[in-house]
Amino acid sequence: MTILLSTLNARYAHASLGLRYLLANMGPLGPDTRIQEFVIGAKTTEVVERLLAQHPRIIGFGVYIWNVEETTRVVAMLKRIAPDVKIILGGPEVSFETDEQAIVKLADYVVTGWGEITFPQLCAQILNGPQPLMKVHAGVQAPMAEIALPYALYSDEDIAHRTLYVEASRGCPFKCEFCLSSLDKTAWPFPLESFLAQMEDLYARGARLFKFVDRTFNLNVKTSMKIIQFFLDKLEAAPDDPVYAHFELVPDHLPEALKEMIARFPAGALQFEIGIQSFNPEVQALVSRRQDNAKAADNIRWLCQHSQAHLHVDLIAGLPGEDIASFARGFDQLVSLGAHEIQFGILKRLRGTPIIRHTESYKMVYDPYPPYTVLATSLIDFPTMQRLVRFARYWDLVANSGRFANTIHELLGVRPFENFMAFSDWIYTKTDATHRIALDRLAKLVAEWLQVTGMERERALALVASDYAGGIDGAHKKAAAANAGTVAAPARQVRHLAA
């Protein structure tokens, strides 16, 4: 073995698309290259032992915000035990501000940006000479048609047990300053026919869950419709063997022709991730986010009322210029639109993003350690930001989980943000925890809170029991029974379908 491609995924179900792209484009070095993936939380010594057991001369690591600290420990140990093994880093976390990073100091080389051309070239120089003179190598962007697609490298094990990440395009034309894609000049599509041919091969091998990582799936509507049609054809040809597709949708760009196709999908076959981030026009302008809020709201409402797609809508707390009252209005507006999940995130200062330009003027204080979450701003102090962090966690446990589909409406009432914040503050005083709260205990706490706010005990217990009974997730059980053989969606989405 000469070259190992490795990374620490956030969980086993997340197969690394980036490593497979590199392997697919290794050219003559391909036969001497293999992938070895790990999951965060693995013991450093065990990771190092398994890597060195392959006797590599080069190890390339994919470094991301979620694994940089653990990968740093792995690289540090490798350089102590096997200093002759060359370490090459790549990935978004090391593509910017490289001089400041401990992991970069430990490694031999870094490839910033795109790696399909530059990484194999660098490996060839290390193995065959002349030896590279520079430590940091800017990745060369290949023409899209010249990048070998990696989907044949998903193994049968991947197809059976893991989410398959795919992309019909890279890049993004928008300039939202909190996102790394803001550094792209545009979006670049892969040749559609060859991409769909590889999707056909994956489907023929048994793949049924496809997660598109395109930042702007519906930017080119003609392309979107062809991809959507691919999945409709599969559903219509084999309704008892359904396929499930996840796309990131631009919220204010949903023409009628695309709506008509979306409306044809059965429940459990389609999920859209929709980034709203903020409904405040002044904040949007401040962070260079272009969005027609009225159109975005209308489209979300239409999707909720006229399609069976599962909607996962994103909001970000802690953006410069946004206070609690403004965020609460946006949150309440999203609740009123009816999205299945509101992913309430706290702003993170990703390396290289232009959001840093607001640090001084808006007193943005960030955690110096990954994931670089904002701790305070000029409008939201640290204690309040911590309340928002807890709100986000409890919201995920109670609302987004789908386990309290009946109860959540009573809990939110006519002032969703205010009421859930009160619940969040209360449950934290009761538990002093945001993690490892058993489901049966959570159900009892929700019922107790309903009584605290004035609901009769019998009604509160009956309401919670309608969602959760005897330690069994009732909604999920009901959905599974009702949709057996017809739903490909993951468990959490199935729970929402049952509501």
* pLDDT reading at 323 higher than 90: yes
Position 431 scores a pLDDT of 96
Q: Do residues 288 and 354 make contact, with C-beta atoms less than 8 angstroms apart?
A: yes
* pLDDT reading at 255 higher than 60: yes
Q: What is the pLDDT of residues 97-111, one digit of tens each?
A: 999 999 999 999 999
What amino acid is encoded at 271 in this protein? Answer: Q
Q: Is the dihedral of CA 224, 226, 231, 236 positive or negative?
A: positive
Position 478 scores a pLDDT of 43
What is the mean predicted confidence (pLDDT) over 109-122? 98
> Containing H/E element for 138?
strand 136-138
The confidence band for 469, taking pLDDT boundaries of 50, 70 and 90, is: low
What is the mean predicted confidence (pLDDT) over 204-210? 96
* pLDDT reading at 178 higher than 50: yes
Q: Which residues pair with 90 in a beta bridge?
A: 62
Q: What is the pLDDT of residues 422-440, one digit of tens each?
A: 999 999 999 999 999 999 9
* pLDDT reading at 476 higher than 50: no
**Measured CA angle at 339 (ends 164, 473), to 5 deg:** 70
- Rg, Å, the chain Cα set: 24
Residues contacting residue 439 through CB under 8 Å, at least 6 positions apart: 403, 468, 471, 473
* pLDDT reading at 246 higher than 50: yes
For residues 393 and 178, give the distance between their C-alpha atoms in angstroms, rounded to a whole number: 21
Position 54 scores a pLDDT of 96
Closest CA to 311 of 349, 358, 367, 254: 254
* pLDDT reading at 488 higher than 80: no
Average pLDDT, the chain: 93
pTM for the full predicted model? 0.92
Q: What is the pLDDT of residues 366-399, one digit of tens each?
A: 999 999 999 999 999 999 999 999 999 999 999 9
* From 66-80, 95-109, 283-297, 463-477, the region with the lowest mean pLDDT: 463-477
